[in-house]
Amino acid sequence: DGGITQSPKYLFRKEGQNVTLSCEQNLNHDAMYWYRQDPGQGLRLIYYSQIVNDFQKGDIAEGYSVSREKKESFPLTVTSAQKNPTAFYLCASRGGQGGKQPQHFGDGTRLSIL
């Protein structure tokens, strides 16, 4: 079955530590996205990538970094510069160019501060 796999499901970060969230897809989608969701809030775009070896900042990129070395993979690093990282992180992918093409989401990673 095709889909998006995020790992780990839960992650704890110590002060001053960088952590990396994994996102893998086998849908053969070109575009991939990282969102942050805070309680009772909508999704805010952190980074997105429309093609391998290229990515763009979203609305809240500060304190985060990404790479897109393979089509299937789009890992997100939460750096120590992100002072309030506690949130639910969602990875998504999208195939095709039409506006109707939906985003497909992974099950998310819940990040907390120790």
Q: Which is nearer to other proteins, 16 or 42 (CB)?
A: 42
Apex 37 CA angle, 29 and 19, nearest 5: 75
Other Cβ atoms within 10 Å of 53 Cβ, number: 10
In 1-114, alpha helices (H): none
99 near other proteins (CB under 8 A): yes
Q: Which of 19, 32, 46, 48 lies at the binding interface for other proteins (CB under 8 A)?
A: 48
End-to-end CA distance of the chain: 35
CB-neighbour burial class of residue 41 (10 A; exposed 0-12, middle 13-18, buried 19+):
exposed
- Closest separation in Å from C-beta 58 to other proteins: 7
Q: What angle do CA 48, 75, 71 make, to 5 degrees?
A: 70
Q: Which is nearer to other proteins, 43 or 52 (CB)?
A: 43
Residues 67-96 that bind other proteins (CB under 8 A): 90
Residue 20 in contact with other proteins, rule: CB under 8 A: no
Q: Does 39 bind other proteins (CB under 8 A)?
A: no
111 binds other proteins (CB under 8 A): no
List of residues contacting other proteins (CB under 8 A): 33, 40-45, 48, 56, 58, 90, 99-100, 102-108
